[in-house]
A and B are shown apart, each in its own frame.
Chain A
Amino acid sequence: MTRTFASLRHWRRDDRPGSFAHGIHPPEHKELTAHRPIERMPFVDALVLPLSQHIGAPSRAVVTVGDRVERGQLVAEPGGYVSVALHAPATGTIAAIERRLHPNGQLMDAIVLHVDSWATQRVLAADPVDPATLTEDQLVERIQRAGLVGLGGAAFPSHVKVKVPEGKRVRAVVINGAECEPYLTCDHRVMVERAAEVIRGTLILMDNVGARRAYIGVELNKPDAIAALERVAPPGVEVLGLPVKYPQGAEKHLIKAIFDREIPRGGLPIDLELVVNNVGTMAALADLFDRGQPLIERVITVSGPAIRHPKNLLVPIGTSLSAVIAHCGGLLPTVKQVVLGGPMMGQAQKSLDVPVLKGTSGVLCLDRVEITARREHPCIRCGRCVEACPMFLNPARLSRLVRYERAADLVASNLRACIECGSCSFVCPSGIPVVQYMRMGKAMVRAAEKAAS
């Protein structure tokens, strides 16, 4: 009997090793840029470097207005342990340290750098070092001082992940090359064009956390990336083709797909003795040690139906969206929205006068607004969101609880497990902004907890 039940469990669609249950299949739209080589964006006249462009405490500026800085020179130091440094992406003069519009919609402290048009733009501060000669703590500090953050989108400080917590161990390193967001191809191009650096960074990470194996998960819609990585992957580093499904690149679901294990609720990959990092971060890690280059530029995808020439661009951090868009031939008149990041989890921008950040993976120029109040209908309880939710929540029920402001019930219904992937909003036939309700609910829960304490 037990046998029968066990086999029935595995019978469920999509719930097999190599994938995860639920999730969605949005149109990919990657063909716009998937085969376009990464192009270097020229320097613009001014770069805006917000002091807060990672998760954690803002960086602290160590330069003053009028200072001359060289490309790669430290301009702000970490503001705490969960914080990283910031470097000048170009040689120039500090023009201002003032509040500037941040892509999150707020005015936030930023260093404004005027770029010298005549400078060589070589990274003069370069200081390559063999990571094998460093102790663990030295290496962690070096990564923090290089300003390295996760380049997948969340911009979590990388050194925190490299440091194995007391009493824990790491069995394997998981490298995230899923890139499940539609339109985005920056990770794809990095894997194709910089496979050696991705592997090199992976080996540095493995060495430091004491892992003997690494698994690079790549969705099967990027066969050239899989082939490029496999060509250079040494024994112990395995490249895995994963089914194409959103959100395959969420770290919980990546781990589920590769190991068929679930991170316990509220837990981290380290609870399964794993560390997850993005492929772009690995290439940046290799650049840091082999070329001595801190994080001063990144690859972004500029795409969407309303940009004239979609491209993959290597952009200095701090370049404004308007410059990026101008470099791609400008917006088409049909443009309705400009989004930073992917179309599932990105942020819509009101102004193009905001900079590319370390965590910016894409600039999407879209020609229609999909979810508007005008087209919203009542929930008909069809349950499509329940079957889409990769965290196995009931978004229909949660949104109802949010409308009734039932904070305690929201907690009991596991609202906090929501990863805001947007699958529920994507499938909702009534056009309800379900994820927005989830965010409101989380704010409600925080407020209730604050009031209670």
Chain B
Amino acid sequence: MTEKGPELVVSSPPFVRSGLSTPHVMREVILCALLVVAGAVWTFGIGALLTVAAATAGAVFAEWLATRGRKPSPLTDWSAALTGILLGLTLPPTMPLWMAFLGGAVGIGLGKSIWGGLGQNLFNPALVGRAFLQAAFPTAITTWAPPVNGAIWTVWQSQLALPFMRGEVDVMSGATPLGAMKFQAQPTGLEDLFLGNVSGSLGETSAALLLAIGLWMAVRRLYDWRLPLATLLSVALLSGLLHLANPAWPGPLFELLSGGLLFAAVFMVTDPVTSPTTPRGAWIFGAGVGALVVLIRTFGGLPEGVMYAILLMNALVPHIERFTQPKPFGAR
């Protein structure tokens, strides 16, 4: 009875787990985002990879700076790297690399670290970085290059500009489909939108690619499927109604396939930290994003409104959660 037993660990129940881990989820989402990067390299050349790398380096640098000395390092949860990759994919192909780096650093610094790190921030860090770049470098972030489709060794001279120097301008400025629609009332063919044969930010061009990746991520349960579905349904519904009221406004298919909507629906709206935890809240959040996207695109001064739509809805998340808490068992 008194013999020495084995050294047993006492912990609280349960003693089995699903095996899912946050770093694992992050890594899987990163792999999906890298597929989008591959698509961007095909569409805009290897320069796309440089932009994404620069933004990621900025994000990881800021995370390291903010959390150095902490054990285990939060870098190992891969969330900062994911933020950087996603930010990079929202930038135009001609963006100077130093700006992308700065955007990544600001996105993590102002968008995440000062809130208290992973899980504490109210706003999507990648979009905070992008909003900063939009405010600081309005020209660079709205200078678009036409797709090079397959000429993958393309690197734009302006990308290599030194910090705070005017880069060599080699850009044949091409309008994005949304810009062409808004300012010249020129629609783009749905086929081009679907395949990504249009100019735009790195990650936002091929609707087909994004739909395939989005579906895969839904099957793998990497996000709450309600979020992108609510967003897209809301865009389709509202733009459909507006199109019926005034056929000059673009119809649902154009709205769904153009701009950053699909990319954001798959990678930004679905950020768990900055979206509601409650299922009903997810529907409301997604629907709100979709409605704001259509309103900004149709009535606002900007051709694209996805970024502001998401940031605005981010701010509402605590309030949405307050009135969408689940009703407990036995009280329904």
Contacts and interface: CB of A to CB of B under 8 A. Distances in A.
Interface in B274-332: 275-279, 282, 321, 325-332
Given A252-B329, A349-B10, A383 B277 contact: yes
B192 interface: no
Contacts of B275: 381
- Tell me which of B8, B77, B279 has the highest count of chain A C-beta atoms within 10 A of its own C-beta: B8
A429 B25 contact: yes
A429 B15 contact: no
Contacts of A322: 1, 3, 5
B233 to A, nearest CB: 15
A346 interface: yes
Nearest to A431: B21
A338 interface: yes
Interface in B4-30: 5-6, 8-18, 20-25
Contact of A431 (B12, B17, B224): B17
B264 to A, nearest CB: 18
A26 interface: yes
A397 interface: yes
A238 interface: no
Contact of A392 (B5, B22, B77, B329): B329
A433 B17 contact: no
Interface in A241-258: 252, 256
B236 to A, nearest CB: 20
B315 to A, nearest CB: 15
B273 interface: yes
B174 interface: no
> Which range holds the interface residue count of chain A?
35 or more
B17 to A, nearest CB: 4
A347 B13 contact: yes
A396 B119 CA distance: 11
Interface string A355-397: 0000000001010011110010111111110110111111011
Contacts of A378: 22, 117-120
Contacts of B18: 24, 26, 426-427, 429
Interface string A424-453: 011111110101100100000000000000
B278 A383 contact: yes
Interface stretch (A154-162, A216-224, A275-283, A329-337): A329-337
A177 interface: no
Contact of B17 (A252, A351, A392, A426): A426
A267 interface: yes
Nearest to A339: B15
Contacts of A16: none
A267 B10 CA distance: 33
B240 interface: no
A348 B15 contact: yes
B272 interface: yes
Contacts of B22: 377-378, 380, 429-431
Contacts of B272: 380-383
A435 B16 CA distance: 13
Interface of A: 24, 26-27, 46, 105, 182, 252, 256, 262-267, 320, 322, 331, 335-339, 343-353, 364, 366, 369-372, 375, 377-384, 386-387, 389-394, 396-397, 413-414, 417, 422, 425-431, 433, 435-436, 439
14 contacts: A24-B18, A105-B10, A265-B330, A331-B6, A343-B14, A378-B119, A381-B277, A383-B272, A386-B279, A391-B329, A392-B332, A413-B325, A427-B18, A431-B17
